[in-house]
């Protein structure tokens, strides 16, 4: 398995889905999944997707600047660390963000066990 390739493909899929069909992210999470979004914790696929759907912006575009990844241990997980810019519709300036994902193998693919998002205020 090429962790770098998995990470790159995951990141492309995650943000393109976030930006075009946010509800479609549900398939990436499971009941054990955790999201910490700007310090607020949510657990479980349904609650996580509800949290993302309820964010105070609808149209947005994520532009990824960097992707780093490392294997997370013997269970076969992959840690993915992303930095980038989030452009909200109608806003002049993009917001910088950092986000990390912990991908765990599941039925020949991966799901997101851990997800932590932070804006990097200028």
Q: Which is nearer to a copy of itself, 12 or 38 (CB)?
A: 38
Going by C-alpha positions, the residue among 78, 84, 121 that lies closest to residue 99 is: 84
Interface positions, 41-100, toward a copy of itself (CB under 8 A)? 41, 66, 68, 70-75, 77, 79, 81, 83, 96, 98, 100
> Is residue 109 near a copy of itself by the rule CB under 8 A?
no
Tokens linked to 110: 């991966």
Q: Environment class of residue 109 by beta-carbon count within 10 Å: exposed (0-12), middle (13-18) or buried (19+)?
A: exposed
Q: Which is nearer to a copy of itself, 62 or 102 (CB)?
A: 102
DSSP letter at 94 equals P
DSSP letter at 108 equals T
Q: Which residues bind a copy of itself (CB under 8 A)?
A: 34, 36, 39, 41, 66, 68, 70-75, 77, 79, 81, 83, 96, 98, 100, 102, 104, 113-114, 116, 118, 120, 122
């Amino acid at each position: 398995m090429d962790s770098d390739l998995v990470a790159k493909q995951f990141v492309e899929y995650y943000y393109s889905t976030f930006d075009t069909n946010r509800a479609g992210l549900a398939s990436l999470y499971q009941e054990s999944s955790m999201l910490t979004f700007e310090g607020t914790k949510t657990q479980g696929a349904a609650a996580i997707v509800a949290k993302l759907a309820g964010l105070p912006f609808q149209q947005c575009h994520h532009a990824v600047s960097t992707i780093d990844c490392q294997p997370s241990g013997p269970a076969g997980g992959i840690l993915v660390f992303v930095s980038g810019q989030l452009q909200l519709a109608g806003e002049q300036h993009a917001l910088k963000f950092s986000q990390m994902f912990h991908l765990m193998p599941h039925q020949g693919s991966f799901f997101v066990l851990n997800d932590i998002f932070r804006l990097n205020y200028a």
